[in-house]
């Protein structure tokens, strides 16, 4: 419904009939997922583009950064840096395609909605389910990061499952706000925390280099070992699955690319600098996360500072999973914008279920890190890379009304979009093959533990031969 006919007199419209933001209201396009929120008790479209950029940085620049130095140790410093920079540029391109699709289809709130437009009801169910599953796995990954941080700080005085449970409590609490603007303010200190933690890690590595280390500029590997390591930078940018949800709560969705440029510029620069510095001073044997290769006191300092980022990133992921289902249930109903008992009870239950599922998966599956890799291969390969190509192909064919002529008029974009789709398919297949083989190898070696086993990790050792 075009909101132009139900607005107040002080609203302004552009030449396309799109309701523009004034001091009190957000931009509302026809068919906007949240519609005109004037007069509603709960308003979602409140985010500015700088706050969206902060949210994007919080959810992406976390575990990805800490695992990148190990990729350099596996494939070599030069290939690792080239891959980080290339994927940063590639991620910017796919973000552009995603943003343009969202602007062309303001009714899209998540990947499921996009799937419905392109592939019908089956596409909606597959992409929506994939978004929820990947968000739950991502929440579990942040639980593991928090578990590791708490274990490091306490010298593993408790069993790891208890640390995971302890960390799950604040993540769940921070997931409860119904609108992302509440989480956006928490994301500001979370962003600073991962930035400062990275700087502390670099200082710790610089003053405590590993004696006799080897730093390989290039390094040959088997396909499985190479891709298992290359998956770190590939999935370090795997946050695009949240972009539709973030953009939907912007006051002006047309500013979304500004946030994406800030994210990709910050992430690519920080990833490259951190990966080079850590690999250079800690050598080819650098651990993942790389902070574990530091002396104990530097480990503790960096992990303590990084905890706010792990916490809010996990909350964003579980919030995303709950929000997708909540919108599916209550879109265009009074429960979406009003303080109803049904609305709040449903929202609270969804948040609890998503966080509980993440906790059970994280502590109940001994090969959970490999399953995160499988989930990323199945979903992030498409959400961050491959499916963006289909967005352009669809809109240039249908939205323009030109059919194949729309493709022929922009041959470079056509080729890039097809290659983007092929790249997503390659990452998906190669990732699945790699992580399945790694799971088999782990079971064959007898290193896989039992589910829900409460065991303690060894205390942090790091580079014990160096000073500091």
Q: Which DSSP string do the residues of 266-303 spell out, in sequence order?
A: HHHHHHHHHHHHHHHHH-TT--SSGGGGS-HHHHHHHH
Say whether pLDDT at 53 is over 90.
yes
Q: Rounded distance, CA 201 to CA 293, Å?
A: 10
Say whether pLDDT at 446 is over 80.
no
311 falls within a domain: yes
1 falls within a domain: no
**pLDDT range class, residue 457, cuts 50, 70, 90:** low
180 falls within a domain: yes
Say whether pLDDT at 171 is over 80.
yes
CATH number for the domain that contains residue 372: 1.20.1740.10
Q: What is the pLDDT of residue 96?
A: 96
Say whether pLDDT at 16 is over 50.
no
Q: CA of 253: how far to CAs of 69, 179, 257, in Å?
A: 35, 16, 9
Estimate the crossing angle of helix 341-364 against helix 111-153, to 10 degrees: 60
The average pLDDT across 300-320 equals: 95
461 versus 146: the higher-pLDDT residue is 146
In this predicted structure, which of 39-43, 407-411, 412-416 has the lowest mean pLDDT? 39-43
Long-range own/partner contacts, residues 437-443 (CB < 8 A, 24 or more apart): 437/224, 438/224, 438/228, 438/370, 438/373, 439/367, 439/370, 442/367, 442/370, 443/367
Q: What is the pLDDT of residue 157?
A: 79
Say whether pLDDT at 71 is over 50.
yes
Q: What is the pLDDT of residue 63?
A: 65
Say whether pLDDT at 109 is over 50.
yes
**pLDDT range class, residue 467, cuts 50, 70, 90:** very low
40 falls within a domain: no
Question: Please, are residues 300 and 152 in contact by the beta-carbon 8 Å criterion?
Answer: yes
27 falls within a domain: no
Long-range own/partner contacts, residues 154-163 (CB < 8 A, 24 or more apart): 155/459, 155/460, 156/456, 156/457, 156/458, 156/459, 157/456, 158/456, 159/454, 159/455, 159/456, 160/363, 160/454, 160/455, 160/456, 160/457, 161/363, 161/452, 161/453, 161/454, 162/454
Q: How many domains does the chain have?
A: 1
**In this structure, is the dihedral angle defined by the CA atoms of residues 407, 259, 358 and 338, taken in order, positive or negative?**
negative
Identify the domain containing residue 250 by its residue range: 46-445
**pLDDT > 90 fraction of the chain, expressed in percent and rounded:** 64
Quote the DSSP letter at residue 20: E
**pLDDT range class, residue 72, cuts 50, 70, 90:** confident
Q: What is the pLDDT of residue 11?
A: 42
Say whether pLDDT at 170 is over 90.
yes
Q: Rounded distance, CA 127 to CA 87, Å?
A: 23
464 falls within a domain: no
39 falls within a domain: no
Q: What is the pLDDT of residue 22?
A: 46
351 falls within a domain: yes
Q: What is the pLDDT of residue 301?
A: 96
**In this structure, is the dihedral angle defined by the CA atoms of residues 191, 197, 201 and 207, taken in order, positive or negative?**
positive
Question: Please, are residues 454 and 366 in contact by the beta-carbon 8 Å criterion?
Answer: no
Q: How many CA atoms lie within 13 A of 134 on its CB side?
A: 28
Say whether pLDDT at 18 is over 70.
no
**pLDDT range class, residue 460, cuts 50, 70, 90:** very low
Long-range own/partner contacts, residues 296-300 (CB < 8 A, 24 or more apart): 296/152, 296/459, 296/460, 296/461, 296/462, 296/464, 297/468, 298/200, 298/201, 298/203, 298/204, 298/208, 298/462, 298/468, 299/152, 299/204, 299/460, 299/462, 300/152, 300/153, 300/460
Strand partners, 250: 47
384-412 tens-digit pLDDT: 999 999 999 999 999 888 899 989 999 99
Q: Burial-class residue 220 by CB neighbours within 10 Å (0-12, 13-18, 19+).
A: exposed
The average pLDDT across 248-269 equals: 94
Question: Please, are residues 375 and 134 in contact by the beta-carbon 8 Å criterion?
Answer: yes
Q: What is the pLDDT of residue 107?
A: 94
- pTM of the predicted model, to two decimals? 0.89
Q: What is the pLDDT of residue 25?
A: 55
In this predicted structure, which of 14-28, 96-110, 242-256 has the lowest mean pLDDT? 14-28
**pLDDT > 70 fraction of the chain, expressed in percent and rounded:** 91
| Whole-number average pLDDT of the chain | 87
Q: What is the pLDDT of residue 247?
A: 96
Q: Rounded distance, CA 272 to CA 197, Å?
A: 16
Residues across the chain? 468
Q: What is the pLDDT of residue 2?
A: 37
Q: CA of 346: how far to CAs of 35, 444, 463, in Å?
A: 21, 44, 49
Q: Burial-class residue 41 by CB neighbours within 10 Å (0-12, 13-18, 19+).
A: exposed
The average pLDDT across 213-225 equals: 82
Q: What is the pLDDT of residue 462?
A: 42
């Amino acid at each position: 419904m075009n909101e132009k006919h139900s607005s107040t007199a002080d609203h302004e419209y552009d030449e396309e009939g799109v309701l523009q933001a004034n001091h009190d209201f957000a931009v509302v396009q026809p068919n906007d997922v949240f519609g005109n929120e004037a007069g509603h008790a709960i308003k979602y479209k409140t985010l500015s583009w700088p706050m969206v950029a902060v949210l994007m940085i919080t959810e992406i620049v976390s575990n990805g950064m800490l695992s990148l130095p190990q990729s350099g140790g596996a494939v070599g410093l030069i290939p690792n840096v080239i891959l980080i920079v290339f994927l940063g540029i590639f991620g910017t391109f796919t973000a552009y395609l995603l943003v343009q699709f969202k602007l062309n289809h303001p009714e899209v709130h998540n990947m499921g909605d996009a799937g419905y437009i392109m592939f019908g009801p089956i596409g909606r169910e597959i992409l929506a389910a994939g978004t929820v599953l990947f968000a739950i796995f991502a929440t579990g990954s942040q639980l593991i990061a928090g578990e590791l941080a708490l274990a490091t700080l306490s010298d593993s005085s408790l069993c790891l499952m208890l640390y995971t449970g302890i960390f799950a409590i604040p993540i769940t609490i921070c997931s409860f706000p119904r609108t992302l603007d509440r989480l956006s303010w928490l994301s500001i200190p979370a962003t600073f925390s991962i930035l400062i933690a990275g700087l502390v890690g670099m200082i710790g590595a610089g003053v405590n280099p590993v004696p006799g280390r080897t730093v390989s500029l290039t390094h040959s590997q088997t396909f499985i070992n190479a891709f298992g390591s290359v998956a770190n930078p590939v999935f370090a940018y795997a946050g695009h699955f949240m972009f539709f949800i973030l953009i939907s709560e912007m006051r002006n969705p047309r500013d979304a690319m500004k946030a994406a440029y800030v994210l990709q510029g910050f992430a690519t620069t920080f990833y490259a600098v951190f990966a080079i510095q850590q690999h250079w001073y800690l050598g080819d044997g650098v651990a993942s996360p790389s902070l574990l290769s530091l002396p104990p006191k530097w480990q503790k300092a960096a992990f303590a500072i990084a905890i706010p980022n792990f916490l809010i990133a996990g909350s964003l992921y579980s919030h995303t999973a709950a929000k997708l289902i909540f919108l599916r249930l209550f879109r265009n109903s009074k429960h979406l914008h009003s303080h109803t008992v049904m609305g709040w009870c449903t929202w609270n239950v969804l948040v609890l279920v998503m966080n509980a599922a993440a906790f059970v998966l994280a502590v109940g599956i001994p090969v959970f890190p490999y399953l995160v890799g499988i989930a990323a291969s199945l979903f992030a390969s498409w959400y961050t890379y491959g499916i963006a190509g289909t967005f352009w192909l669809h809109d240039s064919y249908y939205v323009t009304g030109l059919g194949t002529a729309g493709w022929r008029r922009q041959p470079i974009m056509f080729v890039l979009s097809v290659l983007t789709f092929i790249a997503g398919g390659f990452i998906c297949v190669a990732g699945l093959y790699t992580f399945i083989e790694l799971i088999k190898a782990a079971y064959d070696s007898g290193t896989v533990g039992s589910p829900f086993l409460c065991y303690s990790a060894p205390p942090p050792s790091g580079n014990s031969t160096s000073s500091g």
